[in-house]
Amino acid sequence: MIRKSIGGLIFALALAAHPVMAADQIKLYQVASGTLTLDKSALTAGVDIGKMFTVPVAMYIIDHPRGLVVYDTGVSAEAIGENCAGYLGKGLCDSVSPKETRDDIIDRQLQKFGYKPDDVKYVILSHLHYDHAGNMSLFPKATHIVQRDELKFGWWPDKFYNVAYVLKDIEKTRDYKFMELTGDFDLFGDGSLVLLDTKGHTIGHQSLKVRLPKTGTVILTGDAIYTTENENGVAPGLTISLKDSFASVDRLKRIRDAENGQLWFSHDPAQYATHAHDKAYE
């Protein structure tokens, strides 16, 4: 009897200490930092060359009981309108034609749902390209989570692949707090937010698996999968390693199937249009 009581007490204490039940309170918001208009073959290699394609720039806000999280920060507010060429560079600006308003920027998106930048505990960056890390400097109090190889590459990218890295995006964050990863990582230790190593698009790309109490598993692919076409086997047009890109696509699909989940892409206009953007997924 005493042994059973002690065992029950230990189990109760473990439940109290372990954040398993926190997953029942997670909320996920999908928003966008405006749009890009680019040659579609940048997303689908060898397909629709020369066809101009307008895509959303998805970002995510995750309200977790152990801290507010942002996944990707969009195109910089300093690149809006006439400032685009001066900030991104004329070549990049002309090739992607970003369109966004000040209300599209991640700080205003947070405000829309009752949050502010200083509330954010973690900023997870899928990678450091201009359309995913553009406003990371708006979060000086947060811990920024990046794969270590990606952080190094962002500061000093190889010349053949440096067009999408804008040093202005990260140079203000030199003294920020970074969590540098070298693979997968369970952020809260409860399986609710798991960073997934999905290198290929860049040397240190990472996706994010989110387990929601009602919606189930949602995998935010970042640029590991641009669109449904990439999911179905069309090679991505911009990748540092095609071999790693295909391996990451396969990995994400296996995880999705094992957990009966969903893949959410960063730049698929058709999928984005089917999602809610003014309320939380729970």
Residue 38 belongs to a domain with what CATH number?
Answer: 3.60.15.10
- Which residue in 262, 152, 268 sits closest to 210, CA to CA? 262
pLDDT band of 196, cuts 50, 70, 90? very high
CB atoms within 10 A of CB 116: 10
Quote the pTM value.
Answer: 0.91
Place of tokens 């999602």: 275
Any domain includes 113: yes
Query: What would the mean pLDDT of 34-40 be, rounded to a whole number?
Result: 98
Is residue 156 pLDDT above 70, yes or no?
yes
270: containing domain: 23-274
Predicted local distance difference test score (pLDDT) of residue 159: 86
C-alpha span between 49 and 44 (Å, rounded): 9
> Is residue 92's pLDDT more than 90?
yes
- What 81-89 contacts at long range (C-beta under 8 Å, 24+ apart), as own/partner pairs, is 87/166, 87/168, 88/130, 88/166, 89/166
**pLDDT-based confidence at residue 10 (cuts at 50, 70, 90):** very low
Q: CA 270, CA 274: separation in Å to the nearest integer? A: 7
Q: Is residue 282 part of a domain?
A: no
Task: Let me know if residue 2 belongs to a domain.
Answer: no
Q: Is the residue at 51 inside a domain?
A: yes
Confidence of residue 63 (pLDDT cuts 50, 70, 90): very high
Quick: pLDDT tens for 17-30.
444 444 579 999 99
Banded model confidence at residue 14, pLDDT cuts 50, 70, 90:
very low
Q: Is 132 contained in some domain?
A: yes
Q: How many domains does the chain have?
A: 1
On whether residue 6 sits in a domain, the answer given is no
Mean pLDDT of all residues in 152-165: 92
Q: How many C-alpha atoms does 64 have within 13 Å on its Cβ side?
A: 29
Predicted local distance difference test score (pLDDT) of residue 19: 42
* Strand 216-220 versus strand 206-212 pairing type: antiparallel
Per-residue pLDDT at 7 exceeds 80 = no
